[in-house]
Structure 1
Amino acid sequence: MDLISSLVDGSHVMDALIGSSQKKKKAKISIATRWRSIVSISIMNGARPSEPADAGASAGAEPTQPMSPALEDISFSDILADQWKTPDTSNFQDQKASDGSQVFYYAGDSEKTTPVDAATGFMKKSVSSEGEKQMLLEGKTGDSPVSADDEDEDSPYDIVRCSVSNKDNPELYSLTFRVWVLGIIFTGILSFVNQFFFYRQNQLSLGGSVVQLLAFPAGYVMSRTLPKRTFTTFGWKWTMNPGPFNIKEHVLISIFATASSGSPYAIDVVTIKKIWYKSDLGFVASLLFILTSQIMGYSFAGLTRQFLVYPAAMIWPATLISVTLFRTFHEIQNFGSRMTRTKMFWMCFTISFFWYFIPNFVAPALSYIAIMCYMAPNNVIVHQLSDAYNGLGMLNFTLDWSTISSNMGSPIGYPWAMACNLFAGFVIVMWIITPIGYYTNTWNTGNLPIYTAHLFKTNGSRYDIHQIMTPDQHLDEAKYGEYGPVRMTFQFAMSYGIGFAAIITLLVYIGLHYGPEIYQRVRQSRSMDEDIHMKLMRKYDEVPHWWYIVLFVITFTTSIVVCEVYHMMPWYWVIISTVVPLVFTIPIGIIQAISNQQPGLNVITEFIIGYGMPGNPIANVTFKVYGYITMTQALNLVSDLKLGHYMKIPPRQMFIVQLAGTLLSSFIELAVAYWLMNTVKNICTPEGYPFTCISANTFYSASVLWGLIGPGKLFGPSSPYHPVLYLFFVGAFLPVPVWYLQRRYPRSFWQHVNVPVAISIAGAMPPMPAASIVNWFIGCFVFNFLIHRYRNTWWQRYAFSLSAGLDSGVAISGIIQFGIFAKAKMPQWWGADANHCPLAADGGFLNRPLH
């Protein structure tokens, strides 16, 4: 999933954004306003910004209606409170605007007099310059910090000019009391929810979009209700409410909450040691292990700023989506309709909250409706083809939103073209290659299930690793020879091979499509003068390098101590593991900053430690955490630093909130993990449903295959799985014919084919249930094709609010149900049985009656 996230989260964002890169800069503010408002829509449509987002519009034509209101039509009704729909003119001071129209100023806030049209409730444009307008929109007044000579200066790249403002007000307050309160609250919520669902069958995850959506009305309410009194603490003056909630506070809250809100990779190590290897690392050691792997990445992020953040050529396209969303909240609000985005969120939240009681507790059968299994309840092959978890998911549908969004994320967040690429890769591998290989008994896998991450003996029984381990959890060669080699399903073996191919495919794809551009950008980053954004950021104190060096020294030293004291990995392998991110962070960061695609290093790190320390599973996964995840975390934080750079956030405040968010979220996530592992009976087993830990199961299997057994035995010449290594070479070839066809037929459907995206989905399965991908694609078809094409205005306004509401409702409902029904069970009835394809998990098709 790490590779998929990096590919699809912004795959072809460059293609979507860079369409106008050869066009001249638009001078008129009305056109620039439209660009900012439609950037995210163009991305989701897979269209270039130079093309209309409406499906029926001709190329180059202007949209028949504006994608968003002009700046002067900013509505109060999208804030939060209903009373803003029809302003009560008794609360406003009557004045005359420069154009002679009637204008009212809200008298409730003496420090901010925002002009409002009494008839429409819209802010009235009554400012004399763009700088004043920008500060009015951000809730401040005063002289523009940008000199007259800099008014026309902007980024040298059109795609940045479309989204990022070339103005800043350094007097805007940012790291406020509201940021700390809301940042801590949202960090706690996201960390708890995401870690709680990490162990469940459907791994729902709340992301930054939920924080962006909810922090806006929350900040507004705090600005209207908190006292403005100034307090003095140890000689330091501060206030709960410095004034109107502004965009910089909004950005800091989001970065605070999402710095490390997803389940840390290191928790997988903690989980498998405690559950499978029966060796509890302990809470304190686990916390130090998690913090060192997370914060060490942060130190790498800070030390690479001059290469990956400061140069204008390092664009980081995915951050432009966040910039556009933040500016949409604070600059462009309402079309004037009655239903606001906030109301849509809470309506969807309520419906999702109560409905989830049905598929989660009352009728779990609704989570996966396997039509074929109902028609043929005794047919093994039918069960294998249709089952959600141990089958291929054919004709298996759902009425459970968590099933749709738990593994791939909300389908609304994926461009339709990318969803088609993903599903095409899924169909080719899962519905064509896998059945052919499995039912021809390739590698003698016919006596195993068709789809699972579990490991087996040659006779089809489960593989017990404790039979081949020494007391100190190393491989016992004599016992291994006696017990027999490990076997995995055809599809599981192919997933590793496709993972090999995906890495090479991505590198070749980037070289073919972005090679010249990367070379040009790297040269420009060394010779190009500072752009306007770097000049504006010079007004803020930068974080000294020694801060990051101190962080690195502390985390590196602590990681050596933890690994040595708790026998996780020898100290010299800790040093080697840090060399991997040291070498790869900058080159891979340059690739991601330009193409928005990040080649994964997990296979490389597994190969290095697998050959270097065979027979040691814990050392294998520990090396992978420090070697692979440190770089991934570093690039995630670099992306946040670039977002702060674009939004003109003081760097030292970015440092504080990122570090605080990481510390707080790591503690909460580990506490939730230990709470569940100590209280949920049979956790991480089928009997512990829904806490089956599908990701941890796959991680455990990888630790056995790559660590305990080792790649030498697993893929050596005598192994039946040796041929999957040839997929490295296949991966180098795959993008070439597609690239040629794209150049040969520039107006054909080949322009929408993305080979790395298509094959990456198969490399991530297992652990994802196959039926989850099917239903996710159906959801993407409904929202991002049908509704996006035929109800585009509705989609633009409500799609992400709907997605955030459904995700949040399921998450909160699931936690409450766990607290209420933890020891309760529904009476036995047809709908209470979540598995109507039981034959798929019982074994292979060989030597079994096929009714």
Structure 2
Amino acid sequence: MPLKSTLAVPITDDPSLPVVTFRFWLISFFFTALGATVQQYYFFRSSSGTYSIFFVNLVSFSLGKAMARTLSERKFTLLGQTFSLNPGPFNIKEHALIGIAVSTGAGSAYAIDILSATDLFLGYRINALGSILLIITTQCCGYGMAGLLRRYLVYPAEMVWWSNLVQVVFYNTMHNTQDFQSIRLIRGWSRMKFFWIVTVTVFLYQFIPQWLAPILVYFDWLCWIRPFDMNFWAFFSSISGGGILSLSFDWTSIGGATMYLPLSAQLCSFAGVIVNYWIILPIMWMNNYMGVKAIGKPLTTKLFYEETGLPFNIKPFLNQDYSVNETLYEQGPPANMAPMYALGFMTSFMGLAACCTHVGFFHGREIWRNWKQAVGSDQEDIHTRMMRVYPEVPQLWYAGFYLVMAVLAAVACEFYVDLRYLLPGKPIANMTFKCYGYMAMSQCNLLLSDLKLGHYMKIPPRSMFVGQIWGTVVGCFFNYLTMILIINSQRDALDGTKPDANGLWTGQRVQTFWGSGLIYGALGPARMFALDGKYWFVYYGFLIGFLGPIVLWALSKKFPQYRWWSKLNVAIFAGGLHNFPNGYAMGILVSLITALVFQWFLFRYHKAWWTRYTFILSAALDAGAAFTGLIIFLFLGGGLSPKLAVNVPSWWGNYYTPEGDNGPYLAVDRCGAANNAWTSGAEL
């Protein structure tokens, strides 16, 4: 039998506690808007920070308590309903629903990829109403599925969502005991004092790498030995190459998750990243595999012409409705992928197959046993029994909401996005189909997780329904507004017309999505991945991903004395291999060191310290870095208005010329030759 959730979840409840209060609306709006803005900002940055839910929980706790002390208790009547701005003490259910609402909306909406790609690479900006409809419908399409699956994946006791138990303990520690207030950390500081001191310190420090000295983001020290050698640049530059043994002193390149995610999973991921960037990339480059040197850089998601190395531009081959003119395309040379980009498709196939095989062989019996217990058991979960005091959300609500979203999605696609049909030769249609298909699954999983958290916290189901939709809709609007501000102010850097001299702004993630749209939509997978073509090898990813976990499972049966076989996860390793085209090579070594320090040394030899400090330290570091990025973008970077922009004078920490380039260096990491003035290593 699996460990029961009652060991971490109290089996008590107070149905009289108010949940959807004025404090909930105000605090959840603020943190959802902030999170959606911050995460959308990071989407266009070379280093991707995180918006910590622990930060939200900590600060919203203080704000809620303060509002409970200061707001008027006067009662108001609106539409026949009586309410108060201050219905009593700030309670645990209010707090948990704030966190749930924020978690549903404080991210970067996947539909932003479509809107950004069409704007940057086609010059086609979908209007505000169509954009908002596209974002909201893609973000909400998983609600109907989540509602239908509640009975099987939320209510049974056997369906334990382990990641939620950490938050359950966190909320109960803060609200139901005096431990949270009484625990003292270094120098006798309370947890909140420690949190704010670390946050402010990191906030001030981050101005150095993120604004004053971006060379600290890309500290490619090995590249300095021979900065104008093309091979050195391809191997050691973390902006354009493999970033071998490069360092980064920017916290957003490291991230707080390295401090608490399971070490085995991190090591599998880092192993994949290192194999990808430090081994495969140099081999392909030195052997000029598929003419990679003709492209001019080892890592790119742009398509190109093999003979000339010039970028492929889809625009001349598009009809007025943005479909591909097959006749025109066939008259010229075919578009090609860089080998590392093609490898990305192979490793994604590998990860997909390995995930299924690993779960099936290592955990299949356990999952099947728990599923039978969940569906066939006559014994009702105690939490489900306690939740019967609250009115359930009728299935009709979920079905109706799903139907509304489906209709709005059809309206967006027909009247605003100009999609027509899902066929080869229609890149926008294929990108949108991918977005709706992926988000239906992704959002369903996220919403089910939050429903289970609400189940554990005894939040009324109808309050959960309102809170999840509220957070999602708020996040959509701020995703869109942030995207517009960033594209308007950083268009040249994002579309590659004039790359950012300091290497901090990038359209890499949008370019990756657009590249996939061209391959699967405009040109069609038959052209790119035919068995008689040059990229047929990507299908080996399915075979490797299928067989890899089976081999590890067989070894675990042959040598059961070694219990770490199941921790060698091929799917996670493939995710590391797939780090390109999803990310840059910076911060790998420092992140690995951080993971080893916290998850091996401190966790094993100083576990009391790890337990006491890790989560709050991680939240403070991430929060401080996120605030710095937001301030730089809105004010110093001219996000709100170009008149507010403040450029740091050229000095050794940024080294850019008044013309906006880094000559004689190619980029801020002092690596690579500007104007193609290589001294060695450039021979094909």
TM value normalised by structure 2 = 0.91
Alpha-carbon distance in 2 for matches of 1:567, 1:160 = 46
Q: Which has the larger radius of gyration?
A: 1
- Per-residue CA distance 1:742-779 (angstroms, 9 max, x = gap): 23333434353222111112124213111233332222
- Per-residue CA distance 1:472-518 (angstroms, 9 max, x = gap): 22222233233322222221111110111111111011110111122
In structure 2, the partner of 1:645 is 455
> What letter matches 1:377 in structure 2?
P
Q: How does 1:89-168 map to 2 (within 5 A)?
A: 157-168=2-13
2:160 to 315, 332, 344: 315
1:455 to 303, 310, 316: 303
Contact residue 205 and residue 262 of structure 1 kept, 8 A: no
Mark the CA change 1:795 to 1:500 in structure 2 (over 3 Å): closer, same or farther: same
Deviates more, 1:428-437 or 1:734-743: 428-437
SS of residue in 2 equivalent to 1:232? strand
In structure 2, the partner of 1:500 is 349
Alpha-carbon distance in 2 for matches of 1:845, 1:486 = 30
Contact residue 502 and residue 759 of structure 1 kept, 8 A: yes
In structure 1, the partner of 2:632 is 817
In structure 2, the partner of 1:194 is 39
1:268 to 97, 102, 113: 113
In structure 1, the partner of 2:515 is 701
Alpha-carbon distance in 2 for matches of 1:171, 1:821 = 48
Contact residue 50 and residue 252 of structure 2 kept, 8 A: no
* Shift, 1:618, TM fit: 0.3
Q: How does 1:234-633 map to 2 (within 5 A)?
A: 234-330=79-175, 331=177, 332-333=179-180, 334-337=182-185, 338-405=188-255, 410-448=257-295, 449-458=297-306, 459-528=308-377, 529-566=379-416, 568-570=418-420, 613-633=423-443
The answer to whether structure 1 residue 828 and structure 2 residue 673 are counterparts is no
SS of residue in 2 equivalent to 1:771? coil
Contact residue 272 and residue 700 of structure 1 kept, 8 A: yes
- Per-residue CA distance 1:431-462 (angstroms, 9 max, x = gap): 22332233223333343322222222112122
Mark the CA change 1:556 to 1:842 in structure 2 (over 3 Å): closer, same or farther: farther
Alpha-carbon distance in 1 for matches of 2:546, 2:619 = 39
* Shift, 1:842, TM fit: 6.4
Alpha-carbon distance in 1 for matches of 2:328, 2:590 = 44
Alpha-carbon distance in 2 for matches of 1:246, 1:493 = 52
The answer to whether structure 1 residue 721 and structure 2 residue 535 are counterparts is yes
- Per-residue CA distance 1:814-833 (angstroms, 9 max, x = gap): 22223135333222222113
- Per-residue CA distance 1:537-596 (angstroms, 9 max, x = gap): 1110001111111111111111112212235434xx6xxxxxxxxxxxxxxxxxxxxxxx
Contact residue 321 and residue 418 of structure 2 kept, 8 A: no
- Per-residue CA distance 1:776-800 (angstroms, 9 max, x = gap): 2222223322333343323222222
Alpha-carbon distance in 1 for matches of 2:602, 2:226 = 35
Mark the CA change 1:558 to 1:349 in structure 2 (over 3 Å): closer, same or farther: same
* Shift, 1:172, TM fit: 2.2
2:569 to 754, 771, 774: 754
Deviates more, 1:746-755 or 1:512-521: 746-755
Alpha-carbon distance in 2 for matches of 1:764, 1:569 = 30
* Shift, 1:161, TM fit: 2.5
Deviates more, 1:324-333 or 1:297-306: 324-333
* Shift, 1:651, TM fit: 0.2
In structure 2, the partner of 1:64 is none
SS of residue in 1 equivalent to 2:649? coil
Deviates more, 1:410-419 or 1:360-369: 410-419
* Shift, 1:652, TM fit: 0.2
Mark the CA change 1:842 to 1:755 in structure 2 (over 3 Å): closer, same or farther: farther
Contact residue 380 and residue 840 of structure 1 kept, 8 A: no
Alpha-carbon distance in 1 for matches of 2:676, 2:117 = 24
* Shift, 1:259, TM fit: 1.1
Alpha-carbon distance in 1 for matches of 2:565, 2:374 = 32
Alpha-carbon distance in 2 for matches of 1:265, 1:345 = 31
* Shift, 1:631, TM fit: 1.6
> What letter matches 2:352 in structure 1?
I
Q: CA RMSD in A?
A: 2.3
The answer to whether structure 1 residue 662 and structure 2 residue 476 are counterparts is no
Contact residue 456 and residue 487 of structure 1 kept, 8 A: yes
> What letter matches 1:829 in structure 2?
W
In structure 2, the partner of 1:18 is none
Deviates more, 1:450-459 or 1:631-640: 450-459
> What letter matches 1:830 in structure 2?
W
SS of residue in 1 equivalent to 2:653? helix
Alpha-carbon distance in 1 for matches of 2:304, 2:549 = 35
Q: Percent identity?
A: 33
Contact residue 142 and residue 441 of structure 2 kept, 8 A: yes
Contact residue 44 and residue 506 of structure 2 kept, 8 A: yes
Alpha-carbon distance in 2 for matches of 1:649, 1:313 = 20
Alpha-carbon distance in 2 for matches of 1:693, 1:326 = 38
Mark the CA change 1:488 to 1:480 in structure 2 (over 3 Å): closer, same or farther: same
Contact residue 52 and residue 623 of structure 2 kept, 8 A: no
In structure 2, the partner of 1:678 is 488
Alpha-carbon distance in 2 for matches of 1:507, 1:432 = 27
In structure 2, the partner of 1:636 is 446
- Per-residue CA distance 1:386-435 (angstroms, 9 max, x = gap): 11122111121011112222xxx631241222111111122223322332
In structure 2, the partner of 1:838 is 672
Alpha-carbon distance in 2 for matches of 1:843, 1:836 = 14
Deviates more, 1:330-339 or 1:626-635: 330-339
5+ residue gaps, structure 1, are 1-20, 22-156, 574-608
TM value normalised by structure 1 = 0.73
Alpha-carbon distance in 2 for matches of 1:681, 1:726 = 38
Contact residue 685 and residue 691 of structure 1 kept, 8 A: no
Alpha-carbon distance in 1 for matches of 2:675, 2:618 = 33
Alpha-carbon distance in 1 for matches of 2:532, 2:616 = 54
Contact residue 684 and residue 693 of structure 1 kept, 8 A: yes
- Per-residue CA distance 1:302-321 (angstroms, 9 max, x = gap): 12212222222222222222
Mark the CA change 1:440 to 1:428 in structure 2 (over 3 Å): closer, same or farther: same
* Shift, 1:839, TM fit: 4.8
SS of residue in 2 equivalent to 1:184? helix
* Shift, 1:176, TM fit: 2.0
User: Quick one: higher RCO (CA 8 Å, sep 6+), 1 or 2?
Assistant: 2
Alpha-carbon distance in 1 for matches of 2:173, 2:299 = 44
SS of residue in 2 equivalent to 1:397? coil
In structure 2, the partner of 1:783 is 598
SS of residue in 2 equivalent to 1:423? helix
Contact residue 372 and residue 383 of structure 1 kept, 8 A: no
In structure 2, the partner of 1:173 is 18
Contact residue 141 and residue 439 of structure 2 kept, 8 A: no
- Per-residue CA distance 1:329-377 (angstroms, 9 max, x = gap): 2334243442222112111111111112211222111111111111112
Q: Aligned residue pairs: how many?
A: 652
